Amino acid sequence: MRSIGVALESYIVDHNNYPMPQWAGENATLVLGFLMIEPAIIRGHPVPYIGVLLTTPTAYLSSVPFSIYNTQLQQVADNYTGRKMSFWINVVKPGYHNSSMDAWIRDMRVSLLDKFPDTVHWLMESAGPNLSWWHGARGATLLTQGAIHNDIFMIRPTGPSAME
């Protein structure tokens, strides 16, 4: 997940924006979904996941890493049998705020005793070994530009840190 974070920050240096797929629209301020799903084809057409923008045409990542836990979870929960899943990602366009994301950040700051960053431009989530998402449950991993709560790992540019 950390290499994806480095790729996101490298992308913004070159493009003055985080990767926003064309399907999100020119005025999109928030994009969320899986970074990549393989095969990335629906009804015979390629799907432009955010991960594609990090690998092509400039290789900020040589390939998009996949999560074995998300893959296993989605195959149980949804109709993704036989497909590999990467990490869930939320990206906010620089200079913009999204009211839903802002409310979520406020909730996280309350839940994590203000150890969660004041602002988040992107975050990634992954289910953990127990195949559950973090909704106060154990086992999930959350990566943002900033911080964790026991079972949540928040990565800072200087490296991971555990919250107490």
Instruction: State the pLDDT at residue 78.
Output: 59
Looking at residue 45, its pLDDT comes to 76
SS3 98: coil
**pLDDT reported for residue 134:** 57
pLDDT for 77 equals: 59
Question: Distance between CA 53 and CA 33 in Å, rounded?
Answer: 14
Strand-pair category, 159-161 with 37-38: unpaired
Low-confidence residues of the chain: pLDDT under 70: 42, 75-80, 133-164
SS3 content of the chain, % helix, strand, coil (to 5): 30, 20, 50
The number of distinct structural domains making up the chain is: 1
Query: 49 is in which domain, residue-wise?
Result: 2-161
Q: What is the pLDDT at residue 157?
A: 43
Indicate the pairing of strand 45-46 with strand 41-42: antiparallel
